[in-house]
Amino acid sequence: MADTQAERDFYRHQCDEMGKLILRLQQELTQVHNDARRSHATTALILKTYELINHNVSIEDIGKRFLQVILGTMWADRAMVLTYDKDTCSFTSQHHLGLEPNSTPVLTIENAVPEFLFVNSNTESTPLTAAFREAIESQHFIWLFNRYEGIALLIGNEMEDRIFRFPFEDKDRDVVESSLSVFIDIVRRKEAEKALLKSERRYRNLVQSSPESILVCCDGRIAFANNSGLKLLGADSLEEVIGRPSMEFIHPEDQARIREMIRDTLDKHHETALLEARFQRIDNSSIDTEIVAIPFVYQDRPAVQIVAIDISERKKMEKELIKVQKIESLGILAGGIAHDFNNILTGILGNIELAIAYSNQDSEEFEFLDNAHNASNRAKELTQKLLTFSKGGVPLTKSTRLSEIIADSVNFVLSGSSIVCDYLLPADLWPVDIDVVQFRQVIENLTINANQAMPNGGVFSIEAENVDEQGIKSLPLSKKRYVKLIITDQGVGISRKDLQNIFDPYFTTKDGGSGLGLATTFSIIKKHEGLITVESEIGKGTKFIIYIPASETEPSKEKEIDEEPETGQGRILIMDDDEAVRMVTVHMLARLGFSTVTANDGGSAIALYKTAMESGEPFDGVIIDLTIRGGMGGQETVRKLLEIDPAVKALVSSGYSNNPVMSNYRDYGFCGIIKKPFNIHELSECMLSIVCD
């Protein structure tokens, strides 16, 4: 029995030991199984988190998916992603799962300070609620905070009905922390992609709306063009330019420079200096631009971005400025000789007229004098043409009807020609303020041009119309009324190359031409504050369009000039520094019935005028030369005479002046003007206008 009991005790002991061993083995196997499942789950957590990076979804959707991965992998029943707001020192829940809509959030933080919210932070010094401190001290909560990104993660596991309920361990915390880092990287990348997309959209909008033309050249071809670039190239759509060789759109004369610029940009990887170049548009017209080339990467390939500014209008203005400067340079030359030449002509014409007056009309001498008189008048006209260029050639305007001078000027030029003239001049055409002599030159010059362009005849037409402020909106003219002239011929036309130069002094395409006709015309129109433009095509004729300011007053009736000049009487003081002018003026006035006294400068004239007043024999009028070399000129002289005698009647006389006295003589105290060289009829009219006034 003893043996049997001993055996039983032995076997019982062995069984107990075996049971304990089996139980221990079972527990170890369960732990291994649980560790394996935990290891598998935590590895899956990281892998599934990484998978989120490839999802083409929003940051909000990525956050929700991340929490789903957390809940499905960590056997948790609640999870939250929170973002820390530095301005309010509080967390806001961006995403949460496992919370009922009406339940109290797991996390409540009062006046949170991010620096204290670490994984291993001291909860005693962390400003958290008691409930949260108790929760995060539990094995069933994980609380992580990335202070640099301001993102927190809370995972909770308190479900009682789970069959397998495992407390969170340190390695779980490590895996979740790694997963959170991956999630933060994903968020950072997605935010960067979102910002890049927004930036690209903003850049594209900026590029497309830019007034500057932007072109991208890659592998020698156009790869991109913004809206302004398409307009610059004369294209309506990208399909018309994309893929075409870049050099197709560069003027042939500029292609070598642009190739060098592009090569330099690609080789040295730096922006080029501003360069002028001409683009060749789709319709083969050219356009002036300023361009800069910038290194660029287009679809991972080296490219060049060209930024171009249309400067065609500026170039036109520069050409106009150069044209004006050329005319002004010619004006300096013309003005320099005009004063002396007109003084000489005054003496010549005056003496010839006096000789004609005193000679027998049937004599041989009379015929010679008459020929000399005609030649002198042609010299006078030549001087007047030169003075048109000078600053002193200010138009002496008066209200005039164009229809009264157009036909006379055209018929004078085309006398004996086979050209047919066609006029369309309305009866209600506004009068214009013009210098009649100068404007006759305009009509004659354009008529001569037409006559030379139509050697076999044709139709030469002049059309006129009234234009109000609305009609000149797009033109570089001041806001006023204008009369528009359209002068058209059916001649050989002008080439596009020559068209831009036709108003330049001395430019001509005709053998024996002087090149002054159209330059004179341009200068006259400009000085009348008008505008002249030209349109022409080879073989189809030429059209000149002129705008002249309309007058605010009605024209006065012209006085008929008798064969013999009218005479008068009175005592006249003549001031001129040229003795020949003084002498011929004395003789002309004597023939007209006037007595005269002469002075060679302003000081002498003032002394003589003062003496005459004091003697009781004052002068009835004064003729004063505007420009006196080395002495007091006309402007200062008349000012001093007005101090002596406010009622002084003075004529200003000049053949050329660079000041506004000749066109605004009344503003300077004069009663009238007489231009050199003058004839006896003009002198008579001027003297009678002041003496008999």
Phi and psi, residue 649, nearest 5°: -110, 105
Q: Is 461 exposed, middle or buried (0-12, 13-18, 19+ CB in 10 A)?
A: middle
pLDDT, position 607: 94
At residue 90, the pLDDT reads: 62
Stated pTM of the model? 0.46
- Please say if the pLDDT value at position 303 is more than 50: yes
Q: Rounded CA gap, 628 and 575, in Å?
A: 9
Burial class (CB in 10 A: 0-12, 13-18, 19+), 628: buried
Reference 524, options 396, 648, 634, 610; nearest CA is 396
pLDDT greater than 50 at residue 547: yes
**So what's the pLDDT on residue 301?**
86
Tokens of 610: 């003062």
For the segment 533-553, the average pLDDT, to the nearest whole number, is: 90
* pLDDT given for residue 658 in this prediction: 60
Q: How many CB atoms lie within 10 A of CB 213?
A: 23
Interatomic CA distance for residues 685 and 693, integer angstroms: 12
DSSP, collapsed to helix, strand or coil, labels residue 184 as helix
C-alpha distances in angstroms, 685 versus 105, 652, 692, 693? 110, 14, 10, 12
114 cis-preceded (ω within 30 degrees of 0)? no
User: Could you tell me which residue, 498 or 334, shows the higher pLDDT?
Assistant: 498
The confidence band for 640, taking pLDDT boundaries of 50, 70 and 90, is very high
More confident residue, 680 or 68: 680
The pLDDT, as a whole number, for residue 613 is 92
Which one, of 623, 620, 626, 638, lies nearest residue 588 by Cα? 623
Q: How many CA atoms does the CB half-sphere of 563 hold within 13 Å?
A: 1
Looking at residue 36, its pLDDT comes to 53
pLDDT digits (tens, 9 = 90+) for 28-42: 555 554 555 555 555
Matching residue, tokens 């009866």: 427
Which range, of 106-120, 388-402, 550-564, 598-612, averages the lowest pLDDT? 106-120
Residue range 127-133: mean pLDDT, rounded: 53
> Residues 303-323: what's their mean pLDDT?
83
Distances (CA, A) of 514 to 175, 322, 375, 439, 518: 97, 19, 20, 19, 10
Task: Give 598-617 pLDDT, tens digit per residue.
Answer: 999 999 999 999 999 999 89
Q: What is the mean pLDDT of residues 325-336?
A: 68
pLDDT, position 111: 40
Q: Which long-range contacts (CB under 8 A, 24 or more apart) does 189-198 make?
A: 189/53, 190/58, 190/59, 190/62, 191/59, 194/59
Percentage of the residues of the chain whose pLDDT score is greater than 90 = 20
Indicate whether 69 pLDDT > 60.
Answer: yes
Q: Give the start-end residues of each E strand in 260-385.
A: 275-280, 286-298, 301-310
Query: Amino acid identity of 273?
Result: A
Whole-number average pLDDT of the chain: 78
**What average pLDDT score do residues 502-514 get?**
63
Q: How far apart are CA 466 and CA 57, in angstroms?
A: 69
Q: Which of 21-25, 401-405, 621-625 has the highest mean pLDDT?
A: 621-625
- Parallel/antiparallel/unpaired status of strands 275-280 and 286-298: antiparallel
**Is the confidence at residue 481, as pLDDT, over 80?**
yes
Residue 211, class by beta-carbon neighbours within 10 Å (0-12 exposed, 13-18 middle, 19+ buried)?
exposed
Rounded CA gap, 619 and 170, in Å? 125
> Which residues are bridge partners to 415 per DSSP?
none
The single-letter code of the amino acid at 29 is L
Give per-residue pLDDT as tens, 446-473: 998 888 888 888 889 999 999 988 778 7
Q: Is 371 exposed, middle or buried (0-12, 13-18, 19+ CB in 10 A)?
A: exposed
Cα separation, 114 vs 152, whole angstroms:
10
Q: Average pLDDT of 60-74? A: 74
Q: What's residue 56's pLDDT?
A: 62
Q: At what angle do helices 579-591 and 312-358 cross, to 10 degrees?
A: 60
Contacts of 444 (CB under 8 A, 6+ apart): 409, 412, 413
Higher pLDDT, 582 or 338: 582
For residues 507-539, b (16+ Cβ closer than 10 Å) or e, as one string? bbeeeeeeebbbbbbbbbbbbbbbbbebebeee
For the chain, which domains are there? 41-192 (3.30.450.40), 210-310 (3.30.450.20), 331-549 (3.30.565.10), 570-691 (3.40.50.2300)
Strands 531-537 and 459-467: unpaired
Residue 620 has pLDDT above 90, yes or no: yes
Q: Picking from 48-57, 344-353, 436-445, which range would have the lowest pLDDT averaged per residue?
A: 48-57
Average pLDDT rounded to a whole number, residues 164-179? 71
Angle CA 83–87–90, to nearest 5? 45
Question: Would you state the pLDDT for residue 93?
Answer: 59
The answer to whether residues 625 and 673 touch, using CB atoms and an 8 Å cutoff, is no
Tell me the mean pLDDT in the region 408-414. Answer: 85
Comparing 153-167, 271-285, 309-323, 435-449, the range with the smallest average pLDDT is: 153-167
The answer to whether 504 and 521 have CB atoms below 8 angstroms apart is no
Write out the two tokens for 160: 């009682």
| Stated length of the chain | 693
Residue 575 has pLDDT above 70, yes or no: yes
Query: For residues 660 and 394, is the Cβ–Cβ distance under 8 A?
Result: yes
pLDDT of residue 39: 54
Contact call for residues 304 and 295 (beta carbons, < 8 A): yes
What's the Cα-to-Cα distance from 568 to each of 598, 683, 690, rounded to whole Å? 19, 11, 11
Taking the C-alpha atoms of residue 693 and residue 689, their distance in angstroms, rounded to an integer, is 6
pLDDT (0 to 100) of residue 117: 34
